[in-house]
């Protein structure tokens, strides 16, 4: 599997976490390698706009889109999840995302922001990604999130598993499990045994 190297700050910690999950990991910005890998991980920390700029520099949106068109797994982490949505709004500036899911990343409406620390999540039944850790807590560090899920499904498409969390009375999307495309707002690589199990679940599915 491959971790996409587009200049984000938490790449090495992501690589180490997947190595601990018994995965053979390559860190690369090479388009061909990213397209051909069994699984592609898109981590991310910092600002939505900066992450999108980095992704565009290595043709990240194209790589993600082509992989998903072929049913090849992609996992986004933290801002790597946020950029999968249509738009991000930070400090009044709107930035176009990858557009794999409809929705807007916006500032959390909670008394204390950033949301930093351990939180439980609401996992629907039948989740393969969260198998064995449905009731566990995961580690979050973020000020922005997706507060409304707007993807409409029909009889021909399977509805995604949308995992929610709450901070200061504000609900937001904590993770999504949508066929070959999965993502977490929290940091599994910083979430102890529960995060390690989740990453192993994903690796085992490849």
Q: How far apart are CA 122 and CA 162, in angstroms?
A: 9
**From 3.40.50.880, 1.10.340.70, 3.90.650.10, 1.10.357.10, which CATH number describes the 2-204 domain?**
3.40.50.880
Average pLDDT of every residue of the chain: 95
Instruction: Note the pLDDT tens digit of each residue in 79-124.
Output: 999 999 999 999 999 999 999 999 999 999 999 999 999 999 999 9
Q: How far apart are CA 190 and CA 120, in angstroms?
A: 14
Q: How far apart are CA 91 and CA 10, in angstroms?
A: 23
Q: How far apart are CA 10 and CA 186, in angstroms?
A: 13
Q: Output the pTM of the full model.
A: 0.96
Q: Is 182 a catalytic residue?
A: no
Phi, psi of 118, deg, nearest 5? -95, 135
Q: Is 189 a catalytic residue?
A: yes
Task: State the pLDDT at residue 119.
Answer: 98
Which is the catalytic residue, given 115, 142, 167, 187?
A: 187
Instruction: Note the pLDDT tens digit of each residue in 27-68.
Output: 999 999 999 999 999 999 999 999 999 999 999 999 999 999
Which is the catalytic residue, given 51, 78, 98, 182?
A: 78
Question: What is the residue extent of each domain of the chain?
Answer: 2-204
Q: Is 115 a catalytic residue?
A: no
């Amino acid at each position: 599997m491959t971790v996409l190297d587009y200049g984000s700050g938490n790449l090495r910690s992501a690589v180490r976490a997947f190595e601990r999950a018994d995965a053979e990991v390559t860190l690369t910005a090479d388009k061909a390698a990213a397209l051909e890998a069994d699984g592609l991980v898109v981590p991310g920390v910092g600002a939505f706009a900066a992450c999108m700029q980095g992704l565009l520099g290595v043709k990240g949106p194209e790589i993600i889109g082509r992989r998903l068109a072929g049913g090849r797994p992609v996992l986004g982490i933290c801002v790597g999840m946020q950029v999968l949505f249509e738009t991000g709004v930070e400090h009044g500036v709107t930035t176009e995302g990858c557009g794999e899911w409809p929705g807007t990343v916006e500032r959390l409406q909670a008394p204390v922001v950033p949301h930093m620390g351990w939180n439980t999540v609401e996992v629907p039944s039948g989740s393969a990604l969260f198998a064995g850790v449905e009731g566990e807590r995961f580690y979050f560090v973020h000020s922005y999130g997706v507060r409304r899920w707007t993807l409409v499904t029909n009889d021909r498409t399977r509805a995604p598993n949308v995992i929610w969390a709450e901070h200061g009375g504000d609900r937001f999307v904590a993770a999504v499990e949508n066929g070959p495309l999965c993502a977490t707002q929290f940091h599994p690589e910083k979430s102890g045994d529960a995060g390690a199990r989740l990453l192993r679940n994903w690796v085992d599915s490849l």
